[in-house]
Structure 1
Amino acid sequence: MPLTIHGIPASRAIRPLWAATELGLAFNHVPTPYLGGATRTPGFLALNPNGHIPVVVDARPDGDVVVWESMACALYIARHHGQPDGASITPANPREDAEALRWSFWAVTECEADALTVLMHRLAMPAERRKPELAQAAEKRLAVRLRVMEQHLTAQQAAGCLYLAAERFTVADLCVASVLNWARPARELMKGHPLTHDWIVRCTERPAHDVARALG
């Protein structure tokens, strides 16, 4: 199999794992955790000197291509292992490709840190370690960002589209939903942005997402 994905689903590695699963690709999965030193071995650091998961290794006839940074991994898989046929998650034209790029970068730069803060301090951390004030501040910032998303989804739905870039689910939705899903424990935030909430649910309830999350 030409494609190898290092990482675990309970991390940002869910993005390339989900993309590969959506495309029905056969791939090697190396379940590398982010704790315990697995990303600090000489072998792993030779793949990603930053010592982070995920890492995608694509064995191609002209030599291996190594990709790190989770959004880059997902976008690479969609672009180079999918078909631009207007049916898969792969962008079918420059407009869809532009939407995938801009929304993915938007999610990382504008939303990811605050969404992760919400997840950790509303749900993931032990109750005695949570700091509600950090979650509240993050939710206040996210409310500004999600207004942008809500406006876009409103325009998309008026045009008959339920997704970010097209009438169908694409890698744009995959990348952004993988970030905003972390903010779902912020119930009032989600209540105030119903189209965004429903879109997150629609994306993350896809069978391929469930399969990717179940990988060891």
Structure 2
Amino acid sequence: MLKIYGAYRSRATRTLWLAEELGLAFEHVPVLQAKRLPDPTGADAPINTASAAFLSINPMGTIPSIDDDGVIVHESLAINLYLARKYGGALGPKDLVEEAAMLQWSLFAATEIEAVALKISSASTLAPSEETRAVIETAAKSLVKPFDVLEKHFADKSFTVGDRFTVADVNLAEIVRYAQPHAPLFEARPALKGWLERVQARPAFKAMWAKRLAEPAAGPV
């Protein structure tokens, strides 16, 4: 059986959402970030990213990871592309051209958006101040170009690749959402805003998000 390692309040949401979309039976192993625990190496500590048991699965100690009947895969976007390719049906690529597009948009999100958008997500959890507002405004300026690219892309498309919801929407949406606390970025881009609202309205996303909210808070990701 597929095992998914990672807390809901982590990048594991990407894989847990996709698993809900695919209707996969899986075992969720709730590996916590070591930074969430006062003594992650203590004898009574729950399994976490510093636990020997998890490091035997992923020596980098990052989440998520999966074990798909002996196939170990790390890195959330790679995991999702693998699962969609193997189990995805309409959520996976129908041909090499679609597979290239799914890879492109996933890597675009990771390289052009994620690090900057995370600054918005992190700053938005702090008490408002001139410093946090400056961080958010600076990050928002850096997102203008990639978000304009997405606005143009979704101007005549309902989804990221093809004419249907796919793994590319999961991978892209789970990174773009880091910038959601800064509403002006989306109010100025109605096509992008509409796409994100559309994919986040899906029952599988809502099911995943409810489980995330039920987990004790642990930072913005």
Q: TM-score range by the shorter chain?
A: 0.7 to 0.9
> Hey, what's the Cα distance between the residues in 2 that align with 1:67 and 1:33?
18
Aligned to 2:148: 147
Aligned equivalent of 1:116, options 106, 115, 118? 118
Instruction: Decide whether the 8 Å contact of 2:93 with 2:99 is kept in 1.
Output: yes
Hey, what's the Cα distance between the residues in 2 that align with 1:125 and 1:167?
39
Indicate conservation of the 8 Å contact 1:120/1:130, yes or no.
Answer: no
Q: Distance in 2 between matches of 1:162 and 1:24?
A: 23
Q: 3-state SS of the aligned residue for 1:57?
A: strand
Deviating more after overlay: 137-146 vs 34-43 = 34-43
In structure 2, runs of 5+ residues without a counterpart are 41-47, 216-221
Q: Please state if 1:54 is matched with 2:53.
A: no
Matched-pair identity in % = 37
Contact 1:15 1:178 in 2 (8 A): yes
Kindly provide the CA deviation profile for residues 5-28 of structure 1, in whole angstroms up to 9, marking residues without a partner as x: 011222110111111110001000
SS at the partner of 1:40? coil
Q: What is the deviation of 1:153?
A: 1.4
- TM-aligned CA deviation for residue 81 of structure 1: 2.0
* Secondary structure of the corresponding residue to residue 174 of structure 1: helix
Q: Is the 8 A contact 2:49 2:61 kept in 1?
A: yes
1:4/1:29 contact within 8 Å kept: yes
Equivalent residue for 1:76?
Answer: 82
Structure 2 CA distance, aligned partners of 1:120 and 1:96?
33
1:175 aligns with 2:175: no
Q: Which runs of 4+ in 1 moved over 6 A?
A: none
Q: What does residue 132 of structure 1 align with? A: 133
AA of the residue aligned to 1:197: K
Distance 2:76 2:177 in 1: 15
TM-score computed with the length of structure 1 as normaliser:
0.88
CA distance in 1, matches of 2:191, 2:62: 33
| 2:86 paired with 1:106 | no
Secondary structure of the corresponding residue to residue 91 of structure 2? coil
8 A contact 2:126–2:132 mirrored in 1: no
Distance 2:26 2:54 in 1: 18
**TM-score (normalizing by structure 2):** 0.86
**AA in 1 matched with 2:118:** L
Q: Which structure 1 residue ranges, 5 or more long, are not aligned?
A: none
1:40–1:129 CA distance, 2 compared to 1 (3 A): farther
Q: Compute the RMSD of aligned alpha carbons.
A: 1.6
Cα distance in 2 between the residues matched to 1:214 and 1:66: 27
